[in-house]
Amino acid sequence: MRIRPLLIPLATAAAAVSGLAFAAPAPASPSTAPAFTVVVAESGNGLDPAGPAAAKAAVAPGGAFDLSVWELQEPVGSPGSPTTIPSSRLQGANGFQDAYFYTDSRDGAMTFWAPEKGVTTPNSHYARSELREMNRDGSPANWALIGTHRLNATLRVVSVTSNVCVGQIHLGTGGSSTKPLLELYYHANGDIVLGTEDSPSGGQTSHTVGHVPVGKTWSYTIGVSGGHTIDLTVNGSTTHYPIPSSFNSYRQYFKAGSYNQSSSSSTTKGARVAFYKLTVAHG
């Protein structure tokens, strides 16, 4: 198997892009509110132990990915207050890594591990090892729905007990809600499901958007543009959904990683997710 780079064009010449497109395995086969787009496609199994990616295993994830616009939340710390690792500690080949966030020695993937038992945020019952988008000056990202915003990822779910959230657009300032605008889930049966929030008060509608077996590599793009609908594209098929106007006052930010969606007393069961590319673009 050969590893080739993934190339994703910029949405506009003015778009500001952050993140590094890591070498990925060859592929296997009307509303008045703003819009976002999700693109999901399937590719190969993501493993090439003898290939060039294996050389990346000796460095931290920050040596292969631009983590200057991310901070990390881990499933450890004190109850209701998970440990957060700032961007300054994530960056570079000698940056932070541990059992919950590390470079996989087999294929060089940036890997997130979230067990079923772990420290959670006050508003969740589930543990996570997950990146939260930041600005380059160290302040929390907090962008308006207008404009163009994209999160691009190539990944594979190595293991999962029930289901795991691998990408989010989350509400920032603008109100009291702590809900996401959307969450992208991967289920243990291979289904990829987009959950769109009904309102900032809660309630989520599920849309099955693809199917990829556990361990297979796939890609997604989650984006927000200045339109008025949700545009969902899966393997060339596009569907549209309205965004409720109740979200208009809220600003947003991206999240990506392993946000496990099951809990128990087990520290060995959970969700392990490997990323081969993670980039953010705003314009």
Structure token digits, residue 26: 């060859």
- pLDDT value of position 84: 98
37/23 Cα distance (integer angstroms)? 24
For residue 30, pLDDT over 50 is answered with no
Supply the pLDDT for residue 242. Answer: 77
Q: What is the pLDDT of residue 226?
A: 73
E strand intervals along 21-161: 24-25, 35-42, 70-78, 81-85, 101-103, 110-115, 128-133, 149-159
Query: Residue 153 above 60 pLDDT?
Result: yes
Stretch among 36-45, 218-227, 230-239 having the lowest mean pLDDT: 36-45
Q: What is the per-residue pLDDT for 180?
A: 95
pLDDT given for residue 229 in this prediction: 66
Residues above pLDDT 70, as percent of the chain: 76
The b-or-e profile of 87-96 (16+ CB within 10 A means b, else e) is beebbeeebb
Q: Report pLDDT for 227.
A: 53
Confidence grade of residue 16 (pLDDT, cut at 50, 70, 90) = very low
In single-letter form, the type of residue at position 114 comes to A
226-276 pLDDT, tens digit per residue, is 757 666 665 656 677 778 999 999 999 999 999 999 999 999 999 999 999
Averaged over 171-187, what is the pLDDT?
A: 95
Mean pLDDT of all residues in 26-30: 38
Least confident of 51-55, 79-83, 182-186, 211-215: 51-55
Cβ-based neighbours of 52, under 8 Å, separated by 6 or more? 3, 23
